[in-house]
Amino acid sequence: MNLALIKEKITNCGLKFTHQRMVIFLALTKSESHPSAEQVYEEIKGSNPSISIATVYKTLDSFVQAGLLRKTIDQNGVMRFDSKLDAHSHLYCKTSHEIRDYENEKLEKLLQDFIESNDFDGYEIDEINVVFKGHKREKTIN
């Protein structure tokens, strides 16, 4: 993702383009591990020492409001941010607390069909969250 495209994404949703927003958005798109606000802060503060942790929280939240990011909450109640917007599920490692995307078209289709063909007792479902939880297997040494 190039800088011009990020600028476009930010301005297109009515947000002012700032250096902080650029840096934070970039950190998210580069990360594979669905970082927390704290982790984003740690990632960027080396090259942006004057940035405030409150700005990171605020910016991530405004990106979520604008639909540029998604937010989930992990086992420990910590907010985690996801730059992938299309329907997908997640893998969660109970040991490392790492969250990774799990992309499987068949599964998403299955779930979408399930929502459409079932009744949810007076609920209008607009989102489905699937998390596969477990442990990353140790790599066996041959």
Q: Which long-range contacts (CB under 8 A, 24 or more apart) does 3-11 make?
A: 9/68, 10/68
Site string for its own copies, 113-142 (x = CB under 8 A): -xx--x-xxxxxxxxxxxxxxxxxx-x---
Q: Which of 79, 84, 88, 108 binds its own copies (CB under 8 A)?
A: 79
Please name the residues in contact with 116: beta carbons below 8 A apart, sequence gap of 6 or more: none
CA distance 94 to 117: 33
For DNA, which is the closer residue by CB, 15 or 124?
Answer: 15
Please name the residues in contact with 34: beta carbons below 8 A apart, sequence gap of 6 or more: 72, 80, 81, 82, 90, 98, 99, 100
Residue pair 131/92 in contact by the 8 Å Cβ criterion: yes
For its own copies, which is the closer residue by CB, 66 or 107?
Answer: 107
CA distance 19 to 23: 6
Indicate whether 19 belongs to the interface with DNA (CB under 7 A): yes
Number of residues that bind its own copies (CB under 8 A): 36
Q: Which of 61, 98, 101, 108 binds DNA (CB under 7 A)?
A: 61
Q: Tell me which residues in 72-131 interact with DNA (CB under 7 A).
A: 77-79
Indicate whether 74 belongs to the interface with its own copies (CB under 8 A): yes
Using CB under 7 A as the criterion, which residues of the chain lie in contact with DNA when the complex forms?
Answer: 11, 15-21, 36-38, 48, 50-55, 57-59, 61-62, 77-79
